[in-house]
Structure 1
């Protein structure tokens, strides 16, 4: 298995778009057009997940000095149960960030509980601090979620620092403007 970073138009984007839009409600993602505009951002990585050169999923992550933040991750629904998600997470860990962080929905139903259990089996820890996914639009509202990490975050100050870094560099930095959706900075 390997990740193929996509930085420009690519044939895989049509399938990734379908999974992206089916897997994540609009409040929890950008429009796909907005995502495409971010492909050349050096800290954003939109990667096709390939198993024996077959597209089996995608991952979007942001990488900074000590923090790697997973924004979106999905495996082809037809390929689930074949351990591709587990392999992808193992591959992500080999990037060796000091901190690996991702958001998950609160455990309110069987699907969200199973998702959290999946990440816990991959070595992620639930952190005991309140978290809201920032909105993808300037006029939106945050969504209560949990921030999972490798390793666990034990102090509020570090948790707040990471939350602020994610909010500023993934969300607020790219709010649409009246003249269009342009990355700032």
Structure 2
């Protein structure tokens, strides 16, 4: 695999993919395009551009040497922002997603942030929120509007945060940091 390790401990490993022509990238690109709705993901051209930013990582999740999912994230000054996280359908319900989150938390030196749809939007969303809450994330009931992909109309979502030192920044600070660093929107 043409990559560098993010973390390597136990039976979960992360491999950062930077070459869009690699077999591993192409395989994960298929998962990315099937796991997320069209307006919640980048085009391949947009992905190529964002991969030039050293703060952005598109990583394969390996379980005992087999690629089982993807983790797209930003290492920002004060946070680890998970933009996309998906486990291959045939590997779901095996506890792998929980192992991934546990490992990220074990090595975290900053808060971990992600956004989700409103809790009551669907059974899948409720399940997703419960999964993160079970792993110590806090759901913010106050909605935020982050920029959308592909010129789609922005929709409200909710932040979920986990902090290794239990110090939580305000939602406004988190959103401003994501807008500035991820979407390049000045304050």
Smaller-chain TM-score bracket: 0.7 to 0.9
- State the TM-score, normalizing by the size of structure 1: 0.84
- State the TM-score, normalizing by the size of structure 2: 0.83
- Distance in 2 (CA, whole Å) between partners of 1:169 and 1:65 is 10
Structure 1 residue runs of 5 or longer lacking an equivalent are 174-185
Whether 1:133 and 2:146 are equivalent positions in the alignment is yes
- Distance in 1 (CA, whole Å) between partners of 2:40 and 2:69 is 18
2:62 to 50, 57, 60: 50
SS in 2 for 1:120: helix
Runs of 4+ in 1 over 4 A off after TM superposition: 152-155
- Distance in 2 (CA, whole Å) between partners of 1:33 and 1:165 is 24
Question: Aligned ranges for residues 1-185 of structure 1 at < 5 Å?
Answer: 1-9=12-20, 10-107=22-119, 108-137=121-150, 139-151=151-163, 158-172=170-184
Summarize the Cα distance change of 1:81–1:92 in structure 2 as closer, same or farther, 3 Å threshold.
same
- Distance in 2 (CA, whole Å) between partners of 1:129 and 1:97 is 26
Deviations 1:18-66 (A, max 9, x none): 1111111121111133213322311001110001110000000101222
Structure 2 residue runs of 5 or longer lacking an equivalent are 1-11
Aligned-residue Cα RMSD (Å) equals 1.8
Aligned length: 170
Deviation at 1:154, TM superposition (A): 6.2
> Does the 8 Å CA contact 1:5/1:46 hold for their aligned counterparts?
yes
- Distance in 1 (CA, whole Å) between partners of 2:49 and 2:38 is 17
SS in 2 for 1:42: coil
Deviation at 1:94, TM superposition (A): 2.7
- Distance in 1 (CA, whole Å) between partners of 2:158 and 2:43 is 23
- Distance in 1 (CA, whole Å) between partners of 2:74 and 2:92 is 24
